[in-house]
């Protein structure tokens, strides 16, 4: 369930309360007249099952509540209530599968900010992967995949493309482009520094690396893995199965490919740099396309669930 908190202007409070009271997925409705001070208005709280949350939030926005008041929502981890159980039974579908677009947009939108933390993480991850590439160490490659923050902007890009939010599209592309370019530049410099210190050399890169040479040798399976990872990653975001996201991060070679581009460029091994660049682009495109397709399928599925439930209610009447 989601716990909604609404600050409604006094002249819209009754409309909001009536809207919430009439929805079968809403329960625990409380109206406190005049309790809100900034902005001023009535304070209305309720719990709504996730299956109905998207419709409820959309209808509240259609009333224009956010313009003069405010709407916020939090996850409810534990609910002990017969009323809540009735609301869950009456709402079609399953809460774990529900799409709450405002929640998804908020969750992914914050990942598009080109912050110092984002840049630091992607730089560190790429440098770790660069060392892993040179030493042919999968453990370092896996560690770099987990540290890399690039899936956030990729997921935000899929959501923004579906919703035609071009501002978020631009921010996502900017975060990815600047992040990867900065990370590769720093990795080139770190590779030169390690070479000067005598820790690695061009011969290290050219030596047989059977455990990690797949990074610069993309093939059809690169598309398959990228597409599957995009599906799993988007499902982990929309269904709140965050544990699955770690597996997604480990399964794609975005950061390792960027690291291999940087290391190969540092030593002038342009064949590897070109192959790694292609691997990077394949993974980025596959994740975005698969995420977008997953959202479309989920949207169509929930449209079907809602219309089937509406048909059953109409037949019952």
| pLDDT of res. 195 | 95
| pLDDT of res. 76 | 86
| pLDDT of res. 3 | 93
Q: CA 150 to CA 133: how far, in whole Å?
A: 19
DSSP 8-class letter at 240 = T
H-helix segments, 136-201: 138-147, 151-163, 166-196
Q: Angle, to 10 degrees, between the axis of helix 151-163 and the axis of helix 270-316? A: 50
Determine the CATH number of domain 2-91: 3.30.70.120
Q: Strands, E, within 85-220: which ranges? A: none
- Phi/psi for 137 (5° steps) reads -115, 105
| pLDDT of res. 126 | 96
Structure tokens at 194: 């390690």
Averaged over successive runs of 10 residues, the pLDDT of the chain (317 residues) comes to 93 94 92 92 93 89 91 87 84 71 77 86 95 92 88 89 90 94 97 94 91 88 90 81 57 87 95 94 94 90 68 51
| pLDDT of res. 1 | 85
DSSP 8-class letter at 110 = G
pTM of whole model > 0.85?
Answer: no
Radius of gyration (C-alpha) of the chain in whole angstroms: 24
Of the CA atoms within 13 Å of residue 144, those in its CB half-sphere come to 28
Length of the chain: 317
- Residue owning tokens 């908020």: 106
Give the H or E element holding residue 34.
strand 26-37
| pLDDT of res. 309 | 58
* Cβ-based neighbours of 310, under 8 Å, separated by 6 or more: none
The 3-state DSSP composition of the chain as helix, strand, coil percent (nearest 5) reads 70, 10, 20
Give every strand in the sheet of 70-75, ordered side by side. Answer: 26-37, 40-48, 2-8, 70-75
């Amino acid at each position: 369930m989601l716990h909604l908190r609404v600050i409604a202007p006094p002249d819209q409070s009754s409309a909001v309360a009536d809207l919430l009271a009439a929805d079968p997925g809403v329960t625990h409705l409380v109206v406190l007249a005049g309790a809100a001070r900034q902005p001023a208005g009535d304070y209305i709280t309720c719990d709504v099952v996730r299956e109905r949350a998207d419709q409820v939030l959309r209808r509240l926005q259609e009333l224009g509540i956010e313009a003069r008041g405010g709407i916020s929502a939090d996850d409810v981890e534990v609910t002990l209530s017969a009323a809540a159980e009735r609301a869950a039974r009456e709402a079609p579908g399953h809460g774990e599968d529900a799409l709450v677009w405002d929640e998804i947009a908020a969750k992914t939108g914050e990942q598009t900010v080109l912050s110092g933390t984002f840049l630091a993480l992607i730089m560190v991850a790429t440098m770790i992967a660069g060392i892993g590439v040179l030493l042919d160490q999968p453990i370092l490659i896996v560690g770099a995949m987990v540290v890399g923050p690039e899936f956030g902007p990729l997921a935000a890009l899929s959501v923004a493309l579906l919703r035609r939010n071009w501002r978020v599209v631009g921010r996502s592309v900017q975060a990815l482009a600047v992040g990867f370019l900065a990370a590769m530049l720093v990795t080139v410099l770190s590779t030169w520094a390690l070479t000067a210190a005598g820790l690695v050399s061009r011969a290290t890169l050219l030596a047989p690396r059977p455990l990690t040479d797949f990074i610069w040798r993309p093939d059809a399976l690169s598309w398959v893995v990228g597409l599957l990872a995009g599906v799993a990653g988007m499902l982990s975001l929309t269904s709140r199965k965050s544990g699955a996201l770690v597996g997604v991060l480990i399964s794609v070679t975005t950061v390792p490919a960027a690291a291999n581009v940087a290391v190969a460029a540092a030593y002038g091994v342009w064949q590897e740099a070109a192959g790694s660049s292609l691997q990077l682009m394949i993974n980025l495109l596959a994740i975005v396309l698969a995420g977008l397709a997953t959202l479309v399928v989920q949207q169509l599925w929930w449209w079907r669930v809602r219309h089937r439930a509406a048909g059953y209610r109409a037949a019952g009447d």
